[in-house]
Structure 1
Amino acid sequence: MTTSRRHFLGMAAATPLAMSGALALGAGTAYAADSAYVMCYFTESTNLGDGTDYGLHLAVSPDALEWTPLNQNNPVVTPTAGDLGLRDPFILRKQDGTFVVLATDLKGTDWTYVSQYIHVWDSPDLRMFTGYRRMKLHDMNTHSWAPEAFWDAGRGQYAVIYSAVNSSGHNVIMVNYTSDFVTASAPQVLFDPGYDVIDGDMAVGVDGYNYLYFKGNQTLRGARSTSLNPGSFTEFSPGVAHGGTEAPTLVKSLNSGTWWLWGDTYTPNGVFYAWQTGSLASGTWTALDQRTYTQPVNSKHCGITTITTTEYNNLLAKWGTPAWNRLKSYNFPARYVRHSDYVGRIDTYPIEPYKDSLWTLVPGLADSSGVSFRSVNYPTRYLRHYSYALQLDVNDGTSTFAADATFYRTPGLADASWASFRSYNYPTRYIRHSNYVLRIDPISTTTDRQDATFRVGY
Structure 2
Amino acid sequence: MAHPSRRHFLGMAASAPLAATGALALGAGTAHAADSAYAMVYFTESNTMLEADYNLHLAVSTDGLRWTPLNQNAPVATPTLGAGGLRDPFLLRKQDGTFVVLATDLSGTDWTRNSAYIHVWDSTDLRTFTGYRLLKLHDMTTTHSWAPEAFWDASRGQYGILYSSVNSSGHNVIMVSYTTDFRTTTSPQVFFDPGYDVIDGNLTVGVSGVNYLYFKRAGTLVGARSTSLNPGSFTPFSTAVNHGGTEAPTVVKSLTSNTWYLWGDTYTPNGVFYVWQTSNLASGTWTALDQKLYTQPLNSKHCGIHPITSTEYSNLIAKWGAPAWNRLKSYNFPARYVRHSGFAGRIDAYPFDPYPDSQWKLVPGLADSSAVSFQSVNYPTRYLRHYSYALRLDANDGTSTFAADATFYRTAGLADSSWASFRSYNNPTRYIRHADYALRIDPVSTTTERQDATFHVGY
TM range (shorter): over 0.9
* Letter of the structure 1 residue corresponding to residue 231 of structure 2: P
Residue correspondence of structure 1 range 127-146 to structure 2 within 5 A: 127-140=127-140, 141-146=142-147
Tell me how far apart the structure 2 counterparts of residues 269 and 283 of structure 1 sit (CA, whole Å).
28
Tell me how far apart the structure 1 counterparts of residues 323 and 332 of structure 2 sit (CA, whole Å).
25
Who is 1:64 aligned against?
64
- Given that 2:430 and 2:444 are in contact with CA atoms closer than 8 Å, whether structure 1 keeps it comes out as yes
In the TM superposition, what is the alpha-carbon distance from 1:28 to its structure 2 partner? 6.6
Who is 2:302 aligned against?
301
1:311-342 CA-partner distances (Å, limit 9, x unpaired): 00000000000000000000000000000000
* Letter of the structure 2 residue corresponding to residue 64 of structure 1: G
* Letter of the structure 2 residue corresponding to residue 341 of structure 1: G
Counterpart check, 1:80 vs 2:68: no
Who is 1:386 aligned against?
387
Who is 2:413 aligned against?
412
Tell me how far apart the structure 2 counterparts of residues 264 and 102 of structure 1 sit (CA, whole Å).
18
Counterpart check, 1:55 vs 2:55: yes
Tell me how far apart the structure 2 counterparts of residues 255 and 298 of structure 1 sit (CA, whole Å).
28
Residue correspondence of structure 1 range 50-449 to structure 2 within 5 A: 51-140=51-140, 141-449=142-450
Is the alpha carbon distance of 1:367 and 1:120 closer, same or farther for their aligned partners in structure 2, counting shifts above 3 Å?
same
Who is 2:45 aligned against?
44
1:169-226 CA-partner distances (Å, limit 9, x unpaired): 1000000000000000011000011111000001000011100000002100000001
1:327-368 CA-partner distances (Å, limit 9, x unpaired): 000000000000000000000000211000000110000000
- Given that 1:188 and 1:230 are in contact with CA atoms closer than 8 Å, whether structure 2 keeps it comes out as yes
- Given that 1:26 and 1:207 are in contact with CA atoms closer than 8 Å, whether structure 2 keeps it comes out as no
Tell me how far apart the structure 2 counterparts of residues 148 and 208 of structure 1 sit (CA, whole Å).
21
* Letter of the structure 2 residue corresponding to residue 52 of structure 1: A
* Letter of the structure 2 residue corresponding to residue 334 of structure 1: A
Tell me how far apart the structure 2 counterparts of residues 123 and 327 of structure 1 sit (CA, whole Å).
33
TM, length-normalised to structure 2: 0.93
* Letter of the structure 2 residue corresponding to residue 386 of structure 1: Y
- Given that 1:90 and 1:102 are in contact with CA atoms closer than 8 Å, whether structure 2 keeps it comes out as yes
After superposing the two structures, state which structure 1 stretch, 123-132 or 26-35, moved more. 26-35
In the TM superposition, what is the alpha-carbon distance from 1:26 to its structure 2 partner? 8.9
In the TM superposition, what is the alpha-carbon distance from 1:62 to its structure 2 partner? 0.4
Instruction: Give the number of equivalent residue pairs.
Output: 433
* Letter of the structure 2 residue corresponding to residue 34 of structure 1: D
- Given that 2:44 and 2:271 are in contact with CA atoms closer than 8 Å, whether structure 1 keeps it comes out as no
Is the alpha carbon distance of 1:429 and 1:350 closer, same or farther for their aligned partners in structure 2, counting shifts above 3 Å?
same
Tell me how far apart the structure 2 counterparts of residues 327 and 384 of structure 1 sit (CA, whole Å).
16
SS of residue paired to 1:239: coil
SS of residue paired to 1:310: helix
Q: CA RMSD in A?
A: 1.0
* Letter of the structure 2 residue corresponding to residue 197 of structure 1: V
- Given that 2:160 and 2:179 are in contact with CA atoms closer than 8 Å, whether structure 1 keeps it comes out as yes
* Letter of the structure 2 residue corresponding to residue 355 of structure 1: P
1:360-390 CA-partner distances (Å, limit 9, x unpaired): 1100000000000010000000000000000
Gaps spanning 5+ residues in structure 1: where? 1-24
SS of residue paired to 2:59: strand
Identical positions, percent: 79
Tell me how far apart the structure 2 counterparts of residues 293 and 94 of structure 1 sit (CA, whole Å).
28
In the TM superposition, what is the alpha-carbon distance from 1:266 to its structure 2 partner? 0.2
Tell me how far apart the structure 1 counterparts of residues 207 and 299 of structure 2 sit (CA, whole Å).
32
Tell me how far apart the structure 1 counterparts of residues 272 and 71 of structure 2 sit (CA, whole Å).
21
SS of residue paired to 1:248: strand
Tell me how far apart the structure 2 counterparts of residues 149 and 27 of structure 1 sit (CA, whole Å).
8
Tell me how far apart the structure 2 counterparts of residues 173 and 39 of structure 1 sit (CA, whole Å).
23
SS of residue paired to 1:281: helix
Tell me how far apart the structure 2 counterparts of residues 216 and 421 of structure 1 sit (CA, whole Å).
44
- Given that 1:104 and 1:119 are in contact with CA atoms closer than 8 Å, whether structure 2 keeps it comes out as yes
Tell me how far apart the structure 2 counterparts of residues 248 and 270 of structure 1 sit (CA, whole Å).
14
Residue correspondence of structure 1 range 13-32 to structure 2 within 5 A: 29-32=30-33
Tell me how far apart the structure 1 counterparts of residues 381 and 49 of structure 2 sit (CA, whole Å).
27
SS of residue paired to 2:317: helix
Who is 1:7 aligned against?
none
SS of residue paired to 1:237: coil
* Letter of the structure 1 residue corresponding to residue 97 of structure 2: G
* Letter of the structure 2 residue corresponding to residue 368 of structure 1: S
Tell me how far apart the structure 1 counterparts of residues 131 and 270 of structure 2 sit (CA, whole Å).
30
Is the alpha carbon distance of 1:207 and 1:27 closer, same or farther for their aligned partners in structure 2, counting shifts above 3 Å?
farther
Tell me how far apart the structure 1 counterparts of residues 413 and 29 of structure 2 sit (CA, whole Å).
39
In the TM superposition, what is the alpha-carbon distance from 1:238 to its structure 2 partner? 2.5
Who is 1:14 aligned against?
none
- Given that 2:383 and 2:395 are in contact with CA atoms closer than 8 Å, whether structure 1 keeps it comes out as yes
Tell me how far apart the structure 1 counterparts of residues 404 and 49 of structure 2 sit (CA, whole Å).
39
Tell me how far apart the structure 2 counterparts of residues 26 and 351 of structure 1 sit (CA, whole Å).
39
1:375-415 CA-partner distances (Å, limit 9, x unpaired): 00000000000000000000000000000000000000000
- Given that 1:433 and 1:451 are in contact with CA atoms closer than 8 Å, whether structure 2 keeps it comes out as yes
TM, length-normalised to structure 1: 0.94
- Given that 1:43 and 1:269 are in contact with CA atoms closer than 8 Å, whether structure 2 keeps it comes out as no
Tell me how far apart the structure 1 counterparts of residues 315 and 376 of structure 2 sit (CA, whole Å).
30
- Given that 2:29 and 2:306 are in contact with CA atoms closer than 8 Å, whether structure 1 keeps it comes out as no
Tell me how far apart the structure 2 counterparts of residues 239 and 417 of structure 1 sit (CA, whole Å).
33
In the TM superposition, what is the alpha-carbon distance from 1:268 to its structure 2 partner? 0.6
In the TM superposition, what is the alpha-carbon distance from 1:264 to its structure 2 partner? 0.8
1:51-101 CA-partner distances (Å, limit 9, x unpaired): 221110000000000000000000000101000000000010000000000
In the TM superposition, what is the alpha-carbon distance from 1:168 to its structure 2 partner? 2.2
